[in-house]
Structure 1
Amino acid sequence: MTRRRFRRTRGPSNAAITAVTVLALCSGMLLLRDGRGETPPQPSAAQARTGADDRSALRSAAPALPPSPPDRVRIPAIDVDAPLTGLGLTRTGSLEVPPADRKNLAGWYEAGTTPGERGTAIVAGHVDNADGPAVFYSLGALRKGSTIEVDRRDGRVAVFTVDAVEVYDAEDFPDTKVYGAAPRPELRVITCGGGYSRTTGYRGNVVVYAHLTDTR
């Protein structure tokens, strides 16, 4: 895995992320390579966030952890078990993305909240690359109630429960909803999704919303 010296330049906030940040994940390289008509699974309307989900999350939220960089993310329901690398921002204020040639590598926004800490932590990864499906190819198939585990460098495992899985067109991406501050430990996991164009790739993003429910 890639390790960097942990530091914050802007505090535990995602305010520096200024736009739809993961379009570089979304070239659709697999589809462009082999011309298939298939696309990765997309979330159904039943997986969208509701008021009942928010109330349930409040009741089940676990206490926040102190800051600690994450090293690995696991999502058992879709067979994800991947190392994490730190991501910064590009010159235009968008989130960097993991190297496309490392298909089982995901990244986290290291200038923001660490997973398990109070606030909104951000994890992103490719949906595919030139060789085939990548780390978050099946993210759109995830369902409410699924578990996401994050191994932290302090030896703790932060366990999150999925509240919703939604898909957005790039032009309608809700920056504040996805990246905004939270009063409890929350997690967003992001990849490409939505419609697909052979000239521009995927037209949007799949976003998983989750909150901390346990620590090991």
Structure 2
Amino acid sequence: MSVPASFIRAHTRPVRPSLVPEVQLLVAADVVALWEAMEGEQGRTEQEPPFWAAAWPGGQALARYVLDTPDLVAGRSVLDLGAGSGLVAVAAVLAGATRVVASEIDPFGLAAIPENAALNGVSGIEPVGDLLGERPPAVDVVLAGDVCYDRTMTERVLPFLDAARAAGAEVLIGDPGRPYLPHDRLEEAAVHEVADTEDAPGRPPRVRRTTVWRLP
């Protein structure tokens, strides 16, 4: 399914995430209204919530890390796994990556990735769908933000990341302390306090301790 760019622009607004003010990101102007509009666009009522239309803590922490340590990606190829609407992918290009593959399972998120690239004046991002279950693409670095949000997804993601690491890629994961991530297997690279997405309209966001982990 192809989502028109006009739909993304009509239901989002540009913001600068609190931890990554260098990047502009299109986020939901009204989450409930966006969700309802997505159902209308898809023509069905079981549409997943618009997780792509927010700057999640793990993605913000990864984007911050990439911008603070540009040598990680400069002149290299990068996979942004679980890209959402492309925050980490945009940061990677700004830090000097020569090629960025942005993998996202939600077609609305895929449609938002080029819009966010254009908003930030960057090019070279390749949006692709679900890669889990396939051989990881040949890239130098894999960046995965907020991908271990439940047990089922974690069981899909970890073998993919292990395969990417075995193939020689550097692998970093951004996560705000979810219980499904096997922390004993990982090395801490950076820690940030990140304002979470709002739990409810009008309620101030929580601040969550968020870690960038390296897969050794």
The TM-score normalised by the length of structure 1 is: 0.30
Q: Which one has a larger percent helix, Structure 1 or Structure 2?
A: 2
Bigger relative CO (Cα 8 Å, ≥ 6 apart): 1
Calculate the TM-score normalised by the size of structure 2: 0.30
